[in-house]
Amino acid sequence: MTALHTHEPPRAATSWDPQLYLRFPEHRLRPALELLDRVRFDAPPSVVYDIGCGPGTITRLLTERFPGAEVHGVDSSADMLRTAAGTAPAAVLHQEDIGSWRPGRRPDLLFANSLFHLVPDHGAVLRRLAGDLAPRGALALQMPVFHHTPWFRLILRTLEDGGPGGAPLGPPELRAALSRVHTLDAAGYYGLLAGPDVEPDVWSTEYLHVLSGPDPVWSWVEAAGLRPVIDGLSAAEFGAFRSSYLDRLRAAYPSLPDGRTLFPFRRLFVVAHRH
């Protein structure tokens, strides 16, 4: 039976819908598998944390990959953790904000799939977590790289001119918050984590996702990149945003004659083993 531990209430955060996030399971799982593939241990790990564990898909994978380990999932979203409890029943779950969280036990593996692009100023958090690793432990991160992409730039453009008469939609703080880039480049993560006993392995991959179904790019971003917009607009504003943004998305990501849609998506990977 999964145990859920809450030490302090997390600060108000973006809402998450686990069922929407569980769409496109194979596309979302593949980067986590490719990240895990680069994590090497001399001896099986004893303590594993999946941070930003979301609906528990990766947490479960970690319990299966390391059957002898105590596996923990950490997330700030109660909705995500409720789903994770069903998905990864062998894990211990914690409702925490990663900005202030410290692992209860020294981790052999800290695994963060698609988390740190959501965490402002996370350089200090990563340095602290790397310092918490057990000897010969590993920190493994994967983050989407999206600020240059059509789907993301069109969110900003639609917020800027999608209101009545071309007026902006939503408060200026929403556009400012969305425009902020929390991720570093590859050299930035190398510099952050490299040290006498750590040689980070940093790489990026651009996947060409082949999506099907109606408006599949909308379905993808509705689950993640659009969450702050869904939270930040009134129902009427969101209706106006949706219709204008959908038209722009369809033009930027046209369907192929067979009905499929090509969706390029870049991700940055970091694995730091402590020697």
Ligand X SMILES: C[S@@+](CC[C@H](N)C(=O)[O-])C[C@H]1O[C@@H](n2cnc3c(N)ncnc32)[C@H](O)[C@@H]1O
Minimum Å gap between C-beta 123 and ligand X is: 14
CA distance 67 to 60: 10
Minimum Å gap between C-beta 242 and ligand X is: 21
207, 267 Cβ separation under 8 angstroms? yes
Of 94 and 273, CB closest to ligand X:
94
Minimum Å gap between C-beta 80 and ligand X is: 4
Locus of tokens 């953790």: 81
CA distance 112 to 33: 12
Minimum Å gap between C-beta 203 and ligand X is: 18
Of 129 and 192, CB closest to ligand X:
129
End-to-end CA distance of the chain: 35
Point out which residues bind ligand X (CB under 6 A). 13, 16, 32, 52-54, 57-58, 75-77, 80, 97-99, 113-115, 118-119, 224
Q: Give, for 210, the enclosing helix (H) or strand (E).
A: strand 201-211
Of 116 and 241, CB closest to ligand X:
116
Minimum Å gap between C-beta 15 and ligand X is: 9
241, 162 Cβ separation under 8 angstroms? yes
Of 120 and 213, CB closest to ligand X:
120
Of 199 and 218, CB closest to ligand X:
218
State CA 258 to chain mean position distance. 31
Q: In this structure, what is the dihedral angle of CA atoms 206, 107, 37, 123, given to the nearest 10 degrees?
A: 20
Closest residue to ligand X in the complex (CB): 54
21, 45 Cβ separation under 8 angstroms? no
